[in-house]
Amino acid sequence: MNAGVPHRYTAVYELLPNVLKNVALFDKLEEIHPDFLAEVAFEDSFCKFVVRDGLFRTTDSALDSRVNGHPYQGVVASYHGAPIVWRKEVWGTICHFDLAEHALADDEFELLKAAANAWPNATPSGHTGATPLGDD
């Protein structure tokens, strides 16, 4: 899924009280995952816009007025995310993001949304939530 996009990272975050916990992360550079990506305070995340609006896309957050004043504006330059919904509640998010500006083709965003829809039936065993495999 990450091969078709220019973004360095593709990730899944689980929504917990006041925090997003990373449960899957792909890094094109195959480096050790930075600690700052392991858990992110909900209010400091771009994922909060996904939860609020149903999706969120920004090619260059430094120029995006929707995130004015956000602590990661201009740091996480590009972010494209969709919600993972389980039992009619937002369980988490799936996103492509990078520290550099990148657009995301509409067909790739549709693929990301399809992955979000499939996630509840393919959750890895290491997740922290209660989503059972295949039980919807």
What are 121-132's pLDDT values in tens digits?
765 444 445 443
The DSSP bridge pattern shows strands 9-16 and 89-98 to be antiparallel
The DSSP 8-state label assigned to residue 34 in this structure reads P
Residue 81 has pLDDT above 70, yes or no: yes
CA angle, 42 as apex, 36 and 21 as ends, to 5°? Answer: 55
Tally Cβ neighbours within 10 Å of residue 98: 17
What pLDDT is stored for residue 122 in this prediction?
Answer: 65
Residue 87 has pLDDT above 90, yes or no: no
Query: pLDDT band at 65, cuts 50/70/90?
Result: very high
The arithmetic mean of pLDDT across residues 98-116, rounded, is 96
What pLDDT is stored for residue 119 in this prediction?
Answer: 86
Domain 2-121 class, CATH top level: alpha beta
Domains in the chain: boundaries = 2-121
Mean pLDDT, the chain, whole residue set = 88
